[in-house]
């Protein structure tokens, strides 16, 4: 019985943070270790360039940082193929083939793209590459015939667009070459962690994140400045747990659920200060992140070795994508010379 195929990845626009760890990285490692999946993990540098073309150094620098974060959390090159998007030429040609199957009006209706265009304040100056990136993403997924794509719920419209392209291609050219992917979603209420400032999402652009490579001192400083309950001014004041970012983090990261429940009761009753709960959160996060940071430092000491991992993974992925492109060309009828 053949394995399911996973494709997932990240844009290299900076180091990865604990939001990425909770939302995707931890899950990728667990899926990889089941042995039930053939896993491709893509560093999507071409996609990152769609809105960072004038700052390519940012992408080049971040490529290594993302690779280090992958290896540090336990993504194993012997079990998962880590690849660099720009090193797979077949993806560009597949994108071009799929663009002919998608209308501009359909791309305009993609709610994920509409939201991101608004967030990035492009106005009328949306880069064409950014506008069509759902098609590029379809090329990424179908090149490896991935049937499983771990994503957040906000990415479901992107997967639906890929499925539409797959159905169109297979119907038009009369061959069931491409595979329709399904999303692998985190359980309800999981997969998204608020920022240190209480913002609904931890984000590199909002500078409200704890990064996997942060030093112990940096983590402590960030925790001690975290948003809690603005009405909890004095220690004796009753405090609110709901919407209190420190308790949200404790619910996610603390293994001692009984202690967290006791701290919540004390805080709500009054008599427990913010500093005490932040100190406990610091203990919890330091214990979780120290092994990751140590592994990251070990890999960082051998950058050449990390680039070799990316090169070898890209070469393996290239063979798979090239075979899919060969099949696509044959189906369309443009393999003129055999």
Beta strands (DSSP E) in the chain are: 4-10, 37-43, 80-84, 148-150, 182-184
Residues 280 and 289: their CA atoms lie apart, in Å, by 14
Q: Looking at 26, 58, 79, 201, which residue is catalytic?
A: 201
Distance CA 141, CA 318 (A): 13
**The one catalytic residue among 120, 221, 276, 311:** 120
Burial of 155 (0-12, 13-18, 19+ CB in 10 A): middle
Q: What is the CA radius of gyration of the chain?
A: 22
Give, for 315, the enclosing helix (H) or strand (E).
helix 303-332
Whether residue 79 lies in the annotated active site: no
d(CA 44, CA 86): 8
Nearest to residue 80, comparing CAs of 68, 71, 90, 91? 71
CA distance 326 to 338: 10
Note if 264 is an active site residue.
no
Active site residue 3: no
Structure tokens given for 132: 């069509």
For 82, which DSSP code? E
Rounded Cα distance between 79 and 40, Å, is 9
Q: Which of 26, 58, 204, 288 is catalytic?
A: 204
Catalytic residues: 120, 201, 204
């Amino acid at each position: 019985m053949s394995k399911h195929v996973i494709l997932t990845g990240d844009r290299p626009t900076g180091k990865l943070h604990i939001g990425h760890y909770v939302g995707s990285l931890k899950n990728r490692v667990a899926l990889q270790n089941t042995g039930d999946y053939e896993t491709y993990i893509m560093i999507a540098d071409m996609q990152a360039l769609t809105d960072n073309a004038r700052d390519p150094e940012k992408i080049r620098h971040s490529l290594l940082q993302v690779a280090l974060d992958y290896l540090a959390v336990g993504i194993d090159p012997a079990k998962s193929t880590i690849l660099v998007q720009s090193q797979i030429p077949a993806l560009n040609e597949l994108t071009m083939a799929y663009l002919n199957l998608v209308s501009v009006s359909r791309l305009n209706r993609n709610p994920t793209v509409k939201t991101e265009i608004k967030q990035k304040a492009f106005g009328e100056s949306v880069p064409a590459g950014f506008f069509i990136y759902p098609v590029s993403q379809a090329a990424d997924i179908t090149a490896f015939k991935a049937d499983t794509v771990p994503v957040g719920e906000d990415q479901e419209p992107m997967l639906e667009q890929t499925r539409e392209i797959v159905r169109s291609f297979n119907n038009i050219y009369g061959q069931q070459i491409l595979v329709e992917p399904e999303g692998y979603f985190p359980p309800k209420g999981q997969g998204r962690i608020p920022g240190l400032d209480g913002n609904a999402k931890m984000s590199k652009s909002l500078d409200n994140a704890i990064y996997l490579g942060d030093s112990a001192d940096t983590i402590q400083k960030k925790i001690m400045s975290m948003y809690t309950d603005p009405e909890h001014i004095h220690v004796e004041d009753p405090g609110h747990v709901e919407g209190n970012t420190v308790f949200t983090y404790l619910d996610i990261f603390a293994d001692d659920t009984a202690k967290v429940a006791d701290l919540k009761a004390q805080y709500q009753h009054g008599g427990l200060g913010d500093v005490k709960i932040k100190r406990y959160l610091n203990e919890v996060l330091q214990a979780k992140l120290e092994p990751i940071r140590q592994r990251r430092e070990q890999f960082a000491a051998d950058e050449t070795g990390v680039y070799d991992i990316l090169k070898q993974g890209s070469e393996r992925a290239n063979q798979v994508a090239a075979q899919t492109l060969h099949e696509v060309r044959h189906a369309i009828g443009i393999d003129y010379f055999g």
